Amino acid sequence: MRNPLNEGGALWLWLGAALLSCLPFLLPLYNPDLFWHLSAGRWMVEHGRLVREDFLSYTMQGAPWADFEWLSQVFYYGVHALGGMAGLWLLKAALMAVSAAVLVGTLRLHGVPGPALAAAVVAWSAGNLPRADLRPDQFSVIGFGLLYLGVERVRLQRRRVGPRGIAAAFVGFALWTNFHAGCLFGFLLLACCVLAAAAERRWSEAITLAGVAAAAFLGTLVNPSGVGPYLVMLEHWWSRADLSRHIQEWSATTFSNRFHQPFWAILLAFLAVVVVRLRSAPWAASHIRPRHLASGGRPRQGASRPATARHPARFPSGPVLAALALGLGAVRHVRVGAFFVPLGVALIFQVAHEAGWLAAARASKALLAAGLCYAVFLGWGIAPRLVWPGFFDGRFVPVAAAEFVAEERKAFEGLRLYNPWEWGGYLGWRLGPWHKVFDDGRYIFHGHLPEIGEAVKSVEKTKDYVDKQGFDGLFLRNIKSWFATRKAYRDGSTKRFLRPWYLFTFPKERWALVYWDEAALLFVDRRKAPVQWLAEHEYRWVRPFDDDAFAEALERKEIPADKVAIERRRHDEEVARLRATRL
């Protein structure tokens, strides 16, 4: 029976796969940490040397900072200098395309047929919906994919790695560790493969991969911090509970988040393929048809050796063990999914092909049905949530509030302003070097997380924390939260109103609200701002999420309507002007 999965000319399948795979490539950037990476890159270019201590904050100014992502940051800054946010968006898409190409190369090594490769790319794309952003992790994902490709070549060709291979491992890991410290995931893969080879008494392969790992480890030491990246990763490990509670990218993968749902499908498919394959008959040579034989040609130089009765295909126990560890890790921490998804998808199609399942007539129908289900999922569950705010989604950073502070530099310069963790990167980028942030997304501020988490549990604890830190002002998220109050009238009656949280946490006797929009609130300590400036910029009556009490006070003429109108007009004009800022 005709099976389109074995026909490389099934153009319509490729076009459909391209449409299903394109969404992560097209999504705007939204990583707020991107901006402190840009700040670091700018500093290194301007000063002609590497960053070794904090220069962005007033809380950790001068503290040692092992900047293990310095090469990514210089690269980002160079791209931004040439192409702005559009250039960085294109860079994100290009890095994702490289990752997809590495996956395709790995599956081609196993002779997986053409349109099945397209199906694998769709699965890979679906699993990367939560990670369709620009992060230094992308360089690690590419390095991890290339390492797996090399490991599979060693396993399939059954020969030792020569001096060139050892040198390539040294140089590759040296580059890797200067882009990002995710090389530790590479060592996990190597360790699993060495253990599996030793357990199966494939001593030559075990020794070869152990030699590669040794050269790779030496390569990772070729960085400005030496063993610094390992110490930072150890710090991340010890802080993982706090990181998981307070930082979204370190949180657990949940089924309720629709962007996470494809991960669960990939994890279940991977487990099902592995379990069924282990329970079925031993791997048979007749099931495998390497790519160079399927096309009727001669073996290419360096191509994997076809399985024979003498050399049967072996179950990829090492990579499967690594994928199991990464899959379990991704359940706990969503960012680990960046490494599980390419490995898990590769193993699903690799094992299915070598077991002969993709040659079955029903395989094409199953994958086409899966593609149709995914198309419905995108159209129903994902597309309605999408907007195009620009190459960077400014909803994740306080763009307009930062512009206000930039315009009013004389009033804000030198003040100690609090900012949420995820806003520090943008504020440091836009307002630096004259404005120093409270903290940002770097590991040197992990110690702030438990204390802040405790402070927000009550109004009293928040006030105590603010006093302890000595803040002169605060950038705050404009969240919808209210406390119930009762207003007493002269006739003795009362009325219940819901009043916004900030009225109680930051009482107007001390704190002046000088800017607000749908994203941000900006308070300043009255004692730290010029009196005339406050008179011109404070919002005394027009405040967010206080509509009922405000309307009643206006109706009862408890507040001056003429001054309210002036303040409302000022707010509308101010926000409209500052919103026009483009990243």
Q: Model confidence over 419-477: pLDDT tens digits?
A: 999 999 999 999 999 999 999 999 999 999 999 999 999 999 999 999 999 999 999 99
How remote is the C-alpha of 131 from its chain's centroid?
A: 5
Q: Is the pLDDT of residue 301 over 60?
A: no
Angle, to 10 degrees, between the axis of helix 137-157 and the axis of helix 203-220? Answer: 160
Q: What CA–CA distance (Å, rounded) separates 240 from 251?
A: 9
Q: What CA–CA distance (Å, rounded) separates 24 from 16?
A: 15
Torsion angle of alpha carbons 63, 453, 478, 387, nearest 10°? 80
- Name the pLDDT band for 237 (thresholds 50, 70, 90): confident
- Name the pLDDT band for 280 (thresholds 50, 70, 90): confident
What letter represents residue 467's amino acid?
A: D
Q: Hey, CA dihedral for 232, 234, 239, 243, is it positive or negative?
A: positive
Q: What CA–CA distance (Å, rounded) separates 106 from 112?
A: 9
What pLDDT does residue 199 have?
A: 95
Q: Is this model's pTM higher than 0.75 or not?
A: yes
- Name the pLDDT band for 307 (thresholds 50, 70, 90): very low
Q: Hey, CA dihedral for 171, 127, 86, 29, is it positive or negative?
A: negative
Give percent above pLDDT 70 in the chain: 93
Q: What is the token pair recorded at 322?
A: 């690594």
CB 24 within 8 A of CB 96: yes
- Name the pLDDT band for 249 (thresholds 50, 70, 90): confident
For the stretch 508-554, pLDDT in tens is 999 999 999 999 999 999 999 999 999 999 999 999 999 999 999 99
Picking from 501, 521, 518, 503, the residue whose alpha carbon sits closest to that of residue 405 is: 521
Q: Is the pLDDT of residue 275 over 80?
A: yes
For the chain, give the mean pLDDT: 91
Q: What CA–CA distance (Å, rounded) separates 207 from 190?
A: 11
What pLDDT does residue 10 have?
A: 64
If phi > 0 it is left, if psi is from -120 to 50 it is alpha, else beta; for residue 8 that is: alpha
Whether the upstream peptide bond of residue 433 has omega within 30° of 0, thus cis, is: yes
- Which one-letter DSSP state was computed for residue 524? E
What letter represents residue 368's amino acid?
A: L
Q: Is the pLDDT of residue 393 over 70?
A: yes
Pick from 85-89, 240-244, 380-384: least confident = 240-244
What pLDDT does residue 272 have?
A: 97
For the stretch 256-269, pLDDT in tens is 999 999 999 999 99
Q: What is the token pair recorded at 143?
A: 């390095």
Q: What is the token pair recorded at 231?
A: 């110490």
Tokens 């099931």 correspond to: 287
